[in-house]
Amino acid sequence: MAHQSTSKRALPTGLAPEKLRPECDPKDLGFETTDALSHRQTFVGQDRAVDAIKLSATIAQKDFNLYVLGTVGTGRHTAVTRLLSKTASDRPTPCDWVYVNNFDAPHKPNAMKLPSGMASVLRSSMQGLVDDLANEIPALFESEEYQTQRRAIEAEFGQKHEEPIAAFAERVQDENVALMRTPMGFMLAALVDGKPIDPKAYEALSPEQKEEIDSKISRLQEELASVLKLGPQLEKDHRKQIEELHAAMAERVVSLRVGEVVARFAEITDIAAYLEEVRKDMISNAELFLISQMETNNGPFPEAIRKYHRDPHFDRYAVNIMVSHEDVKEAAAPVITEDLPSLAHLTGRIEHISEMGTLATNFTLIKPGALHRANGGYLVLDAHRVLTEPFAWDALKRCLQSQSITITSLAERLSLASTITLEPDPIPLDTRVVLIGDRRLHMLLTLLDPEFGELFKVQADFEDDLSRSAKNTRALAQVIASYAAKEGLYPLTAAAVAGLLDHAVRLANDAKKYSLQLGALTDVMREAHHYAGQKHRDLITVQDIKKAVQQADRRASRVKDRLQEATTRNTILIDTAGEAVGQLNGLSVIGMGTYSFGRPSRITATVRMGSGKLVDIEREVELGGPLHSKGVLILGSYLASHYALDVPMSLHASLVFEQSYGGVDGDSASSTELYALLSALSGVPIRQGIAVTGSVNQNGEVQAIGGVNEKIEGFFDLCKARRLTGEQGVLIPASNVDHLMLREDVVEAARQGKFRIMPVKSIDEGIEILTGHPVGKRSRSGTFPAGSINALVENRLRDFAEARRRFGADSENGGQKEERP
């Protein structure tokens, strides 16, 4: 229970206010508003990362792909886009790529490389070629020349087909047999008196007459079958003659029109070879143009509907553009950013259409992916998104390793589809891939994927902060001016820039550095612009900046306010006045997304005789993390190496975070726990108006911790809510002084002597401030001064050891007390 004590040493004055918040002086900036500043396009403090990006962008060797790592908001995407675009402008525009039909194996379309901008020209030329032939070939087949030759072929076929039958008919007539044509074919019938015999007359004949007629008819039918066998061969020859006529007629116009197209692309050998295959196929399939003519009189690609409809008969002559650079005004390599890097969006896909209840496809349904569009340039991807898309990461690596783009559908990879598919030619790949992610993901990829290091040899590590110097201050002010102009914001006054720079210091958690989280600073500027507009001002002032920071904190502080309310109502027990033995206020930081705040926690220690065991209750119930447990083990080592060195450690102590119902990790409370132990062992009460943070090593040195500003402010808010007494403050590691950038109200309270920030370097310094008693130093004789904290602790530990010895002796004597002289 807390109690008051007299004859205490007074609390130290604490740090001077200027040490608590080293602000930027607007007068040192050298301008009145950001309108007077030149805009800075370079990336302040990111020289190392910029050099890495430039190396990856310019080196010619393969596998020097880039992984950009750093904290969100440090300008990674902006830097990558700007630097790659600048490098890309100095590179030539890459070639176009198209897929065309493979007439020998239609399921394996051919990839064709074309000079930049020629893909659309070739497609238009092929459409024009088919359009022309769709009109000219039908007209050719309606010409008098074609009709004359066709009639001659038909007449020759008729003559060859009818002459054997006519001769056979005359011969059988001499034998009183007639050859008659019926819907079912030819039929032989016996003649009586020059007329075919009817069934009744046949039945009236004698058996001998019937047998004679039947024998004769059977013999002649065999002869008729031999004559009719010549028909299929004659028809085959007839069709061949017709096809040869069609080919001969079509060859003249097709060769003429194809020759015109060849002349347009005379310098491109691949096109000439392709057009020769087209010419042969068009001549062989001239009937396609006749079919099209019967369906429409406007050609297969009429201009009015060409963009919206296609004639499937002529897909075989289409040109499927995968990459075209016809719209590029100036020579430059492409810089492509893919926001959804799925397998299909990366490597392309093969679409299907429904035909008669089945799915079918052809090479015109091949669609390009981001790798196709970025070929010859740069592809920027979010690393996390690539890794979370099924098979995307594997496909990306495979393409980079083979230096070619192979299109594979997800359904095919999973063996879920049994439809007809294609095997397009792989397209050679020459692109630099840039992955943007965080440091942890980079580490995991390096450890778990051996291929990652081989393919991504360059890493661009973006700095999180920037040294606070006059040169960097000026440079960062220019960056702020550049962002304001880019975002269309009001100009900032010098005081507003100074306030924003102070906020950058706070974000860096280091008074000697600026945070390079430019995204967070830009958000503050945008909100301040809104508040300035509400006041009908055309300048952003420091009040607008402060309001934006305060409002952002207020929007995120609901949980903090509820915890503080619970503490002020004593639902959560925290003392901010009085004294108590073995009890102390520790400070922790609670993080919720991007917002964090400090929370005081009561830490208590109890001691008794034991076997040298230090119990961490948090660890025993599995609420303590490994770092917290490490800090507790260090406490045991500190006690064992500093006190009662000549007797066994006979302490049983327990430590706990009171009213802590979640996990506890980190060693920032280890010094607090040690102070509580020393108080419990010495019996000297600790001032409850002082909160403590800091870790400790085995030698008793207090070490730096993180979140020092939030921790101080968390305890200050509680003390302020209960009333500041002037006897309250926070003990921090001396090495954390350079990290202080406290709120203005905390600094003002310190200036008025109502709140103190006291740095310490060792446990001895800290326990002396907390108790108001001298700590005592071990003399040459090996003893501590009587009545000092250390003497009281050592005596207590010796008493425990003696009590343990007596207990052990009593046990050996069967419970009888040992006689002492």
**Which residue out of 513, 546, 711, 720 is catalytically annotated?**
711
- CB count within 10 Å of CB 99 equals 25
Per DSSP, the three-state class of 594 is coil
Residue 476 · residue 504 · CB < 8 Å: yes
- How do 686-687 and 613-616 pair as beta strands? unpaired
Residue with tokens 């430039």: 54
811 is catalytic: no
> 711 catalytic, yes or no?
yes
Q: What share of the chain is helix, strand, coil (3-state, %, to 5)?
A: 50, 15, 35
Tokens of 632: 């507790």
**What is the rounded distance in angstroms from the CA atom of residue 43 to the CA atom of residue 531?**
28
Judged by DSSP in three states, 458 sits in strand
Secondary structure class of 15 (helix, strand, coil): coil
- Assign residue 672 a region (left: φ > 0; alpha: ψ between -120 and 50; beta: otherwise): alpha
Q: In sequence order, what E strands does 522-633 have?
A: 579-580, 583-592, 595-609, 613-616
Give the distance from CA 680 to its chain's centroid: 53
Rounded to whole angstroms, the Cα distance separating 82 from 85 reads 5
The neighbour count for residue 227, using CB atoms within 10 Å, is 15
Q: Spell out the residues 6+ positions from residue 57 whose beta carbon is closer than 8 angstroms to its own.
A: 66, 83, 84, 87, 88, 378, 432
Q: Which residues contact 284 (CB under 8 A, 6 or more apart)?
A: 247
Dihedral sign, CA of 305, 421, 425, 132? negative
The DSSP annotation for 121-160 comes to HHHHHHHHHHHHHHHHHHHHHTSHHHHHHHHHHHHHHHHH
Closest by CA to 640, choosing from 653, 631, 649, 632, is 649
DSSP string, 675-700: HHHHHHHH---EETTEEE--EE-TT-
Contact between residue 516 and residue 74 where contact means Cβ atoms under 8 Å apart: yes
Question: Would you call 760 helix, strand, or coil by DSSP?
Answer: strand
Scan for tokens 């008669």, then name that residue: 356
Q: What is the DSSP string of 463-513?
A: -SEEE--HHHHHHHHHHHHHHHHHTTPPPBBHHHHHHHHHHHHHHHT-TTE
- CA–CA dist 279, 287 (Å, integer): 14
* Closest among 341, 443, 335 to 78, alpha carbons compared: 335
Catalytic residue among 342, 409, 596, 668: 668
CA-nearest of 789, 791, 796 to 781 is: 791
Phi, psi of 20 (to 5 degrees): -85, -25
Which residues are identified as catalytic?
A: 668, 711
